[in-house]
Structure 1
Amino acid sequence: MYEIRGLSLFANVGIAEAMFKDIGVNIVLANEIEEKRAKFYQEVYPKSEMICGDITDEIVRDSIVKRAKELKVNFVLATPPCQGMSVAGNRDPEDPRNQLIYYAVDVIHRLNPAFIMLENVPRQLKTNIRVDGQLIKIPDYIKIEFSDKYIFNNETLAKTKDFGIPQLRERNIYLLVRKDFGFMWTFPAKQKEVYLETAIGGLPSLDPMLQEGMDLTLEKFPEFEKKKMAGMLVSKWHHPPVHPWRQVEWMMHTPTGTSAIFNEVYYPKKKDGTAIHAHHNHYRRMSWDKPARTVTMFNGYMSTLATVHPGRPYKVGDKTLYSDPRVLSIYELFIVMSIPLDWPVPSWVDDSFLRSVIGEGIPSKMARDILQNLLSYLDRVEYHKN
């Protein structure tokens, strides 16, 4: 069986790698610029070597290449930060983060690995970077750099829902195979969609913890502690998120699948009572009969893109209200990101940091299934190359 020995660039905390052990893929080396993320990664993957440093620094880059050669790396996974080109970001064509692909390309050229996986947001296809003083679209740049040595996949847009993951997330993923191997690496066959009802519908309901304190929380939600205990029995990560009362009240009056901006009375307002002008996906509840919306690094805020739990209707007198006026719990995020529920998150990691890194990760099952498809090719053609 062919042994995949990988280098993970822009590794974050290793969410993509969380299921690799299931299929025998070894990430032997990783690089991450942020010390906190690098520490997280190293604690979760103690058998992998982490080089913490800025890949744009030539000394750091040289050390990555040197160590990767020593460790006989034959696969590179590169996921450059996407804030400069994502819909949730500012989309500045000159954003220096967009240029990071240049340094990944340099590392790849120097290693000449057998296999490469380059992942980013779909907007990458239309994003320009500056190379030798000229603006060039990222896909054109990648193909100019690698077409002579590598076979590219034809279809590069991948949707997480097609991998049996309950999330509507789309990514642009280049899968490259060195030409001497003679085959094209493609995505696996599409799997059946999984809706939120199936994925998280059976979990205990949670009331939010109010920013204003426990007294107001218990006044508004008398069953708060009971629900919290039921959630904690499932997992320590299924605990109440914290929100301000005014936002919670808006969402209590917002039906499943709709946004609070369409409410006649309980719509988003500033503290002075004037309406907040928001996008129709802000303050939006997700739907039970669909996968979750794209998980972003801002998944802890109800004011951003479609982060609110679907909720269920209940009666208070003649009024219909909706339960779970909150964002998804971290446990629910694990599910919609297909992160293993027993993933060994370090004890020092707080909710805010964990939510942020989850929002920047590749869903674990997606990454695993793509690598599994590569291994299937290699098994079929009986490659035994190093």
Structure 2
Amino acid sequence: MTTPQTGYGDSTRCVRAGVGPAVPGEPFLPGPVMAAPYHLSPDEGSEPHFYARASNPGWEGLEAALAELEGDGTPGTQATVTGAGMAAITVLLRAVLRSGDVLVLPSDGYYQVRAYAAERLASWGVVVREVPTPRMADELDGARLVLAETPSNPGLDVVDLRAVAAAAHATGALLAVDNTTATPLGQLPLGLGADVVVASGTKALSGHSDLLMGYVATADPELHAAVGRERLLSGSVLGPFETWLAHRSLGSAALRIDRQCATAAALVEALDGHPGVHGLRWPGLSSDPSHAVAAAQMRRFGGVLRFELASAEAVHAFVAASSLVSAATSFGGLHTTADRRARWGDAVPPGFVRLSCGIEDTADVVRDVLAALG
């Protein structure tokens, strides 16, 4: 459907990703196809589409775009879209794991993935092993699947993907990487040795806080087919309108993410050493424990940073005093948001804040945050 864009910058690639050849009189990007069944042919099996849970024309364009972005430099990459980031992860886990298999998860990663593994996979006979992100490469014996999340959510630790890939493959395991926080504009796990990428496109990639979407990307054709089969059987599909919204949003992704990264860098500089702020972390901060590894594998350090205030009440007072920071979970959208992660059950201090930079003017955000902190 589309020719991969090589040799271009990220904004050009985002605008062109998954867009087919020009057809006079047709729009640049086709609109959503709202259908459940499609007309069938007497030549049975010749139809490109027959039922929307199995396929949708909009998926083809979006999946081609995501495959281009995640697979930059990795030939044969294919993508499968799902109805949410959690759906992408659970579809992959069910496609790969069987009773008796060992799954290695980050103990400091997204809490609902750990909950799914404990409440569902473990009861089906999968052995779940939780390992802190910095030690991910050290405890992989017997693993069938290793799921790394880097930078981790919400702690923003970074793992050396080349090292984890080598360790996983040495034990016969597959390496999956949750690339939600970094996005393919921040890092390319497949090019660093990962077998498969999962991500929530709900966040920075679609970036408008108006849809739920996830995807799985891999250059392994058998794994791609298994993921597609699990999506079909489980019904973990993306609706046609959300598909169109996500593809429409990709065109501005590099512009948005560049602004978010620039604001994060400026905020970190302003907050470093602030008397009311502790535990400041961002992979781009030169003094961050993960900076050396991040600099070796990331092209952008992302628009999310974390810090700690004195208490939960201090977090609420900070948001109330701000004119530009809204209290909200999720991240990567147009608006700058703060999420007190302890409220969701993460093992973090009560005053732990995950701050997601929006696309407001950088100077305005920095000035507002400093004023709100007092």
Question: TM-score by structure 2 length?
Answer: 0.30
Question: TM-score by structure 1 length?
Answer: 0.29
